[in-house]
């Protein structure tokens, strides 16, 4: 429960504390030999996303934003292929469960293919342990560097522009996703929702009861859009993979199931999206600014 700003500390002190906590936890997870290594990859990539959400909140007041954002993005990207291979299998398993009453669907053959693909990716990767070792080295460097971070504003001024910029981009992405419902547009919206969720977690103490519902809505929405994206990626992988063990006709049937499920997920996402992005940016900024001032007093 350390991923939030505290009332009795400056914004800079809070940002450094939170960044240090995420980085140290990532290092501890790598050092814990009892943890499954693929789960470690999953967890430390999440740490990087939370770190990017953190610095995005203070973006206009943080001169080193661009450099640090690229640093944490690239650190996570080096471990993405192995984790994504597992995520695709998880997505396929969810599709199987959702359609378990469908007869004559060649799920097992396709799943074997995805498992084989994951094995090959793991073997072709230079070394999972080497990748984790390199990631750990990067995090040690980052932990030392955060103590020198400069933030040019204080109070709500330090977080307002970053918070509102992310919200505004999410609002636009929401509209675009339903106007032009492509996999790319829904994925872009999902990223904006995720950052907004991180920001609401960071600011949750300004009014915990109110922001709890807001955060839960963003979290649920990000999950729906994440499931939609995983299915879109799954379909593209199955299209490209010439080793599949079923006929094209049966594979087309699986594609139909994927498309049907994606439409359901997109339909389910619209209502929470309308609620989450009901306000214009300036109205939300004024409201949250008032909450902040009351909280600080």
pLDDT tens column, 33-53: 898 887 888 899 999 999 999
**What is the Cα–Cα distance from 154 to 109, expressed in whole angstroms?**
57
Question: How much is the average pLDDT of 158-180?
Answer: 97
State the pLDDT at residue 247.
67
Question: How much is the average pLDDT of 197-226?
Answer: 96
- How does residue 126 score in pLDDT terms, banded at 50, 70 and 90? low
pTM to 2 decimal places: 0.91
More confident residue, 172 or 38: 172
State the pLDDT at residue 222.
97
State the pLDDT at residue 270.
97
Residue 13 has pLDDT above 70, yes or no: yes
Question: How much is the average pLDDT of 277-281?
Answer: 94
**What is the Cα–Cα distance from 260 to 10, expressed in whole angstroms?**
49
Token readout for 231 is: 């299915």
State the pLDDT at residue 111.
82
More confident residue, 40 or 120: 40
């Amino acid at each position: 429960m350390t991923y939030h700003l505290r009332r009795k500390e400056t914004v800079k002190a809070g940002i450094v504390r939170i960044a240090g906590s995420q980085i140290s936890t990532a290092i501890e997870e790598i050092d814990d030999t009892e943890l499954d290594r693929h789960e470690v990859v999953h967890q430390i990539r999440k740490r990087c996303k939370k770190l990017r959400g953190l610095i995005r909140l203070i973006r206009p007041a943080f001169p080193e934003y661009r450099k640090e954002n690229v640093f944490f993005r690239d650190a996570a990207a080096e471990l993405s292929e192995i984790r994504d291979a597992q995520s695709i299998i998880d997505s396929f398993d969810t599709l199987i469960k959702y359609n378990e009453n469908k007869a004559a669907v060649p799920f097992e053959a396709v799943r074997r293919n995805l498992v084989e693909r994951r094995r090959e990716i793991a073997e072709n990767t230079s070394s999972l342990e080497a990748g984790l070792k390199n990631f750990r080295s990067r995090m040690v460097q980052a932990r030392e560097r955060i103590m020198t971070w400069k933030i040019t504003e204080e109070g709500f001024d330090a977080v307002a522009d970053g918070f509102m910029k992310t919200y505004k981009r999410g609002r636009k992405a929401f509209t675009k996703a339903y106007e032009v419902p492509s996999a790319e547009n829904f994925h872009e919206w999902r990223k904006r929702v995720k950052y907004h969720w991180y920001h609401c977690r960071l600011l949750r103490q300004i009014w915990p009861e109110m922001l709890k519902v807001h955060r839960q809505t963003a979290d649920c929405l990000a999950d729906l859009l994440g499931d939609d994206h995983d299915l879109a990626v799954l379909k593209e992988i199955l299209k490209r993979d010439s080793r599949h063990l079923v006929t094209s006709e049966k594979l087309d049937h699986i594609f139909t199931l994927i498309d049907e499920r994606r439409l359901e997920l997109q339909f389910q996402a619209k209502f929470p999206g309308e609620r989450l992005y009901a306000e214009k940016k300036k109205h939300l900024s004024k409201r949250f600014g008032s909450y902040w001032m009351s909280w600080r007093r």
